[in-house]
Amino acid sequence: MTRLAVGLCALLLAIPLLAGGVAAGLLGGEAAAGGQPAPSPAAAGEIPVDYQRLYVAAAATCPGLAWTVLAAVGKVETDHGQNPDWTSDAGAVGPMQFLPATFAAYGVDGDADGTSDINNPADAVYSAAHYLCVSGARDGANIPGALYAYNHDTSYVTRVLTQADVYTTPDLTTRSGPSTAALTAVDYATAQLGLPYLWGGDGPDYGEKGFDCSGLSRAAYAAAGIAIPRVAQDQFNAGPHLPPGTPLEIGDLVFYGTSDIDITHVGIYIGSGNMVNAPRRGAPVRTETYVRPSYRGATRPAPASAGLP
């Protein structure tokens, strides 16, 4: 469960936004049985059937906890038990990556076989639901806070909530869902939360300690195998541009400036009205609302052979 360490300042900035934005969107999606969100095509395609059943059943033990949040924890931790390395640097083990001491305190016998086994998928998933519930997820009171209790890292909270948003069925009449490249770019970007702003910075992959706004967006899409220009104006010019009124999708680049030929800032949309960006000197890479008066439009980077839906 080891992730990038972030400061208290980043936590205070990120958690309230997520609590009011992403989490609200997750709990308001299309309802499945018991008022739970219906699975998106991405969820149906990548979550093993037995794990999806476990997530749905376990989430039902905690009113207000969407199964998609629980599934997103499983995705981020071990790719739903498909990651063979189930021991983290911190000593967390099993499909939901519990520290043994935490599991000893909150472990649940999910399959009712008389034992609670940290490596048993049913026990691990039900225990994760129980731990999230007692940590603030009950009745949807503070899901970001519950996730932060699960792993004390704001980048982890953002990644889980973004993944949960992906697992919730979108309105297929207005959006097709984010591409694999877009999800990879967002995963990369959210893993950089807390790093310092550095003018001209391209990040650790380029031997630098931080990012500026366009350095972050370029590095994120480079991680997804898509090359985009270095500076914000050139990234905006490169497109492809979303037609006005097109709903944003996770991974879209959002741009700001005084005009289309004076683009001064770029962020990466992560869903439910929020973006991750390197905002300015003295402020770390962080999440914040993408809505601001200087918004000029969005692009959706894609391989050369792909086009907008």
Predicted confidence (pLDDT) per residue in 241-297, tens digit = 999 888 898 899 999 999 999 999 999 998 778 899 999 999 999 988 899 999 999
Task: Tell me the per-residue pLDDT of 64-103, one tens digit each, with 9 for 90 and over.
Answer: 999 999 999 999 999 999 875 667 778 899 999 999 999 9
In this predicted model, which residue has the larger pLDDT, 268 or 162?
Answer: 268
The band of 234, judged by pLDDT with boundaries at 50, 70 and 90, is very high
What is the rounded CA–CA span in Å between residue 210 and residue 70? 31
User: What integer pLDDT is reported at residue 83 of this predicted model?
Assistant: 78
Does an H or E element contain 54, and which?
helix 49-59
The band of 4, judged by pLDDT with boundaries at 50, 70 and 90, is very low
What integer is the mean pLDDT of 172-176? Answer: 47
CA distances from 223 to 45, 133, 188 (A): 22, 34, 7
Numbers of helices and strands, H then E, in the chain: 12, 5
Instruction: Locate 64 and state its tokens.
Output: 């207000």
User: What integer pLDDT is reported at residue 73 of this predicted model?
Assistant: 96
User: What integer pLDDT is reported at residue 174 of this predicted model?
Assistant: 44
CA distances from 249 to 58, 166, 230, 303 (A): 29, 10, 22, 16
Which of 53, 31, 23 lies closest to 139 in space, CA to CA?
A: 23
In this predicted model, which residue has the larger pLDDT, 129 or 91?
Answer: 129
User: What integer pLDDT is reported at residue 70 of this predicted model?
Assistant: 96
Q: What is the largest CA-CA distance in the chain?
A: 67
Amino acid making up residue 62: C
| Dihedral angle over CA of 33, 39, 45, 50, nearest 10 | -40
User: What integer pLDDT is reported at residue 86 of this predicted model?
Assistant: 66
